[in-house]
Amino acid sequence: MELLRLKGDIAMTVFFIKGNEKRQIGISNNIQECYKIIYNFLEERNYDSPYTRISKYEDHLWIDVGSHTEFFEIWGEGITI
């Protein structure tokens, strides 16, 4: 899967995962904007997350928002929580 990149910046790509489906929902050059992309995605769907759990892996972040079947990932270079 080819990731979209922001011109001249290190891009972080936000993915939404539901079951076996994974789709890109946004890109940004900073982690705060990535979190905003996730928050806006949830707000547009009227989902009130009971909690947010973030797991850091070597090359991405896994974000659990309490849905049991829907998650988010953030991929990019130099990701920190």
Domain borders along the chain are: 12-76
Determine how many CB atoms are found less than 10 A away from the CB of residue 48: 8
Per the listing, tokens 């994974």 go with 22
Distance of alpha carbon 74 from alpha carbon 38, whole angstroms: 10
- The pLDDT score that the predictor gives to residue 27 is 95
Tens-digit pLDDT string for the chain (81 aa)? 444 444 556 689 999 999 999 999 999 988 999 999 999 999 999 999 999 999 999 889 999 999 889 999 999 977 766
Tens digit of pLDDT for each residue in 3-25?
Answer: 444 455 668 999 999 999 999 99
